[in-house]
Amino acid sequence: MKKNEFLEKIRKDLGYSRKKIGEYLEVSPTTIERYEKGKVDFNYKTKYVLGICALAGYANEIFTLDEIDENTIADYKLTLFSSKLREILYFLNIEYDEYELFLIKLLQKTYKIDFILDTDYLLKNVDLKDRVINQNLYSQIDAIDFIKNQEKFIYDFKNSLRDKYNEKISDNEVKKLFENDKINFLANIRLEIMVLYTLKVFNPKKFYEEDKLPFFKEALKDFNSFIKDFNHIAPVGIVPIYHWEEDEKQLKKLFPTIKQILEELMIKGKPVNKETIKEFKIELETGAILSTCNEPTDPKDKQICELLQYAPPAFKDKIIEKLLKFKDEVEDI
């Protein structure tokens, strides 16, 4: 099917009318109709495309293609984590080309340790998009199958190759093929935990397929579980680690807070939707983790920013209320 036909199919599969999806994604129904009928061209960075792909769980790069078939659709299917993260970025009005930079800045402001401070290096050498924004669902399924029952996975995979291509492959070759995917999968969960802790609002269960959730819980069990395979996480293991021991000490201090907050969010955290993302946006704009603001230079301001992450929401509300009062008084003068 043509790309405009696929765009219409996604909307219908989601069960939205043009009016409803237009209201939700803040795009005119008339514009949506023109896209779907091929009257107006669009591309993979078009605002509406980014939004509907996030809702449906597809990588928007599928719209770099003019013709789309069922096999292609499978190649561009996203994990639930990537899909939900894309929804957040969409409703924060982050440009697609800024997704990666925005996430790096959020991580920097949250952790403030060496392995995530070199923004220029990260953007040139680490594809954070592939790590958390463009995760492929079927690669994830393969990794989980391989970890859960290696012997059965190897047997099934060898048989599928033989049936499809009449190709023979040894058990060791299959293990080598998927061992790196297994390491990346486990390491990515730890990177996802860091992202979820940075967001601090959304329920982690809403980011995970059922079969992936046990791996998330295992990584949070204790610090040793969390740190396992950590050197494979981007950017750790890619950026030269000159201060890794010091970074590990800082992470170890922070881990109990990470664990506590995420476990609380598992019970009472908010789902990803337009309204909760707006609430999160207000937190960003009131200085909690605003990526576009200048770094504070006053030592007291820096200390306040660093300590604010430990404050409960009610306390933050009081601080915001007091600061707004000061702001009004200054503006009146």
Structural domains in the chain plus CATH codes: 1-77 (1.10.260.40), 98-273 (no CATH)
Q: What pLDDT sits at residue 128?
A: 73
In this prediction, residue 91 has a pLDDT band, given cuts at 50, 70 and 90, of very high
- The three-state (H, E, C) secondary structure of 87-129, written as one string: HHHHHCCCCHHHHHHHHHHHHHHHHCCHHHCCHHHHHHHCCHH
Are 65 and 3 contacting, i.e. CB atoms less than 8 angstroms apart? yes
Q: What pLDDT sits at residue 246?
A: 72
Mean pLDDT of 311-333: 71
Q: What pLDDT sits at residue 273?
A: 92
pTM: 0.79
Distances 263 to 203, 240, 259, 277, 298 between C-alpha atoms, Å: 9, 32, 6, 20, 34
pLDDT(152) > 70: yes
